[in-house]
Amino acid sequence: MRKHIHPVSRPVVFRDRAAGTAFLTRSTVDTARTVVWEDGTLYPLVDVEVSAASHPFFTGGTRVVDTAGRVERFERRYGRRAPSRG
């Protein structure tokens, strides 16, 4: 296997801005920002908008989709153009 062709993997802190949580993991992402972690060590920092801590799929929060309203709006806009079977 060839040496020095893979990016460097190192510990990086990812901070979820929406949930206010942070987690330490390994990554190859390159960033100039740093943060002092709980163990007192300085790590690179990456701010993310959504993670498992704030995504509705993982938190159990769901959004109700108004499908009936969408169908009615579509029919008002385009009408019923398909012939009825009967």
* Side-chain half-sphere exposure of 9, counting CA atoms within 13 A: 6
**pLDDT category, 82, cuts 50, 70, 90?**
low
Whether the model clears a pTM of 0.85, i.e. scores above it, the answer is no
Residue 86 has pLDDT above 70, yes or no: no
pLDDT in tens, 37-62: 999 999 999 988 777 677 655 555 65
Other CB atoms within 10 Å distance of the CB of residue 15: 16
